[in-house]
Structures are given as C-alpha cells and as structure tokens.
Amino acid sequence: MIKPHGSEKLNPLYVMNDNQRAELTKEAEGLPSILISSAAAANAVMLGGGYFNPLTGYMNVADAISVSENMRTVSGLFWPTPVLNVVKDVSDIKDAKRIALRDPNVAGNPVLAIQEVEAIEKISDDQMKLMTEKVFGTLDSEHPGVSAFNSVGNIAISGPIKVLNYSYFEKDFVGTYKTAYEIRDEMAELRWEKVVAFQTRNPMHLAHEELCRMAYKAVNADGILIHMLLGKLKAGDIPADVRDAAIRKMVEVYFEPNTVLVTGYGFDMLYAGPREAVLHAVFRQNCGCTHLIVGRDHAGVGDYYGPFDAQTIFDDIPKDALLIEIFRADHTAWSKKLGKVVMMRDVPDHTKDDFILLSGTKVRAMLSSGQAPPPEFSRPEVAKILMDYYQSIDAK
C-alpha cells in the first residue's frame, strides 16, 4: 500500500478513545452550537475517517480561494476542492472559540463534531462566483453541485475539528460504510499491496464489472476496491441501499473470493467532474489504493464536461502531487462482433451498431416494466434487484 496524502501515516480526526469521546460529548452539551449543512456534515465525516488526510478541519476563505484557483492551500498543500463549513447565520455562536456542530441528517440533530473557531469570515459574492466557476466549471444554477454549493450560506467558520461519530452512515450501512483506516486495515489483512479502486454512485452493469477486471489484470493488482458513495445525490439517482445490494450480488456471484472489497464512504456528491475526480484520487490514496479507474465523464452530470476532462486534468497537476496512479478507461460495451465487453478505443474497426448500447432512460423503462435488459448489458441477478426497486417506486 502507498502512503497517505501529505503525511507519513493516516491521521483521522475521529476521537477513537471511548473515554475522551464521552468527555467531549458531555462538554458539547454546554457549548454554543450550530446546525451545519449536509455538505459540511459530510466533510466532517470524511475528515473523521481519514479520507481528507492531512487536513485538520475546515478551511478558511484564503485557503478555499487558493485551492479553487491553484489546487493548493496557501501553505502549498495539494488539494483540489474547498473543504468548508459555510452557514447563513452565526448569531447562535457569537464570539465563541469552541462550538458544537449539530448534524442536519440525523433526527434530533445530535452533535457530530466539536470545532475550534479560528475565524468567522463572510464570503463575498465575487469569491463565491470564483470558487463556483473554478471548481464546477460553470455558474449554471441548474447544475446540482452549483445549486448545492451556493445554497448553504456565505459565512465560513474555519478551524480544526474533533469528530464524535459518523452521522447516519454507520447505522444505515452496517458492513458497507468503512473509514479510510478501516479499509487500510482490511487490505493489510488480505496482504494486498497493489489495489485498483473503482468509484461508483450507480449500480454496476456488466461493462463496469468487466472494466474492473481489465484494470485489475492490466496493473497486475492484488485486489479491487469497489467504493460507492453513500451520501446525498441528485433527484432520480438510485438509493445507496439498492446499489449496495446490487453490487454485492454481482461480486458474490461473478468475482473470485478475496479479490474484491465492497465498501462505501460518507460524502455528498459534488458532480464536479474533473475536480471531483482529483478529489477521488486523493482519498483513494488515503485508503491505500495504488490505482484509481477514471472513465468517461467521471463524476460528471449532464453535458457540463467533456467525456475525458476528468482524465486530462491529471496531465495538468504536478507529477509529485499524488502517489496514486490513474487507470484511464474508455467507454466499455458489449461487442457483437467479438462476443465480449471491450473498450471502444481498442476496436477501431467497430461502428456504433456493433455494440449493445442502452440509454439510462431505456434501461429504466425496461426495469420498471419488469423486463430485464439483455445479459450482454446487465447480469440477471443485478437486473432482478433493480427491477424490484423500480417497480416498487412506480407502484407508489
């Protein structure tokens, strides 16, 4: 396994000592508190689990601007996206230097973390515009990431945090949600040194499954980390529990034992395309992975990014910025000529008609009607889980 980003060892911000955590939880009851956004809560969970190593908390405005413009903090740490705690109103915390952060995603809004307040700064409209355009590549409010980023407020609370729990992820996704340090421990037990990570926010069809195999064989890996996003998505995306069930069934039936870890992480999707691909590389390095698969339109949405922008951005970052390597994938699909899944770039003699290609709209219509996609597109066991889901929501 490779070293974490920015340090010799992983430094998760979760308070692991039970007594210390109990003391801090009790202290939090008497601290000024503030209800944070879902995005800030997700940042806390990622900081707690070591995914955002070596950050020690939320960025100030100067660092957020610097990261947006140059992918480096003011001190020079390579980082691709702002990690902020932004709110609309700070009247509840006034001049406090130590505050409790309440979780918006759990009933009763329990305390998620304690933050040392280093600065409370208003972000100007021009600064919000700059960060939005640099990170998302657009100012279009129809972009789900742009909309979310600009809806939480314009007051940044910066400073280090101590994380007391992992929000709803541990309870809702037992056995699937894993911290970066837990993943490192599991891979160490399996004696994996070379590991390919596959990022997903969707169920995996046959082409995704075969892409993982292609990368696994190409880099001579010891294992594959299938790492799914478990946090907030845009309307219409398939819920995490359904994806989890579908992916686990695929791995159980079609992969060799002890070659794949199916796990998830607690973060809200940014839909930031190239910048989010770099963030994915950072926290997969923190998990210990040596390679990350980056395919067409990785972390994209709509037509905001070119199909390979999330790959070419890695050509523009300093060679020493990250240790993890990128496995660059083309669109994969079933070739009627060859009778197997191939990368389109590898078969220049093919035309579009030589592939089995189905749009997302077409697949959903088939699943909703109880019709399984062809086996060249989706494993029947996976299709059954997805059919049950779509038919259940259509029946409501």
pLDDT category at 394 given cuts 50, 70, 90 is low
pLDDT value of residue 396: 63
CB atoms inside a 10 Å sphere around CB 337: 12
pLDDT category at 395 given cuts 50, 70, 90 is low
Mean pLDDT over residues 87-99, rounded? 94
Please give the CATH architecture assigned to the domain spanning 18-167.
Answer: Roll (3.10)
Active site residue 202: yes
Q: How many helices (H) and strands (E) does the chain have?
A: 13, 15
**What's the DSSP call for residue 304?**
S
Region(s) of the chain under CATH 3.40.50.620: 171-394
pLDDT category at 369 given cuts 50, 70, 90 is confident
Active site residue 379: no
- The two three-digit tokens of residue 116, written as one number: 């040392």
Give how far Cα 354 sits from Cα of 202, 337, 347, Å: 25, 6, 10
Summarised one tens digit per residue, pLDDT across range 213-224 is 999 999 999 999
Name the residue with tokens 């889980």: 385
Summarised one tens digit per residue, pLDDT across range 242-282 is 999 999 999 999 999 999 999 999 999 899 999 999 999 99
Q: Which residues contact residue 117 at a Cβ distance below 8 angstroms, ignoring those fewer than 6 apart? A: 93, 96, 97, 98, 99, 157, 158, 159
pTM: 0.94
- Options 21, 202, 213, 364, the catalytic residue: 202
pLDDT value of residue 283: 95
Summarised one tens digit per residue, pLDDT across range 282-329 is 999 999 999 999 998 899 998 999 999 999 999 999 989 999 999 999
End-to-end CA distance of the chain: 47
- pLDDT surpasses 90 at 359: no
- Options 21, 72, 98, 201, the catalytic residue: 201
pLDDT value of residue 233: 72
Summarised one tens digit per residue, pLDDT across range 23-65 is 999 999 999 999 999 999 999 999 999 999 999 999 999 999 9
Dihedral sign computed on CA atoms, order 70, 74, 77, 81 = negative
Q: Which residues contact residue 274 at a Cβ distance below 8 angstroms, ignoring those fewer than 6 apart? A: 137, 299, 305, 309, 310, 312, 313
Domain 171-394: homologous superfamily in CATH: HUPs (3.40.50.620)
pLDDT category at 392 given cuts 50, 70, 90 is confident
Name the residue with tokens 């990785």: 298
Per-residue exposure over 164-177, b if at least 16 CB sit within 10 Å of its own CB, e if not: bbbbbbbebbeebb
pLDDT value of residue 1: 83
pLDDT category at 365 given cuts 50, 70, 90 is confident
Region(s) of the chain under CATH 3.10.400.10: 18-167
**What's the DSSP call for residue 377?**
T
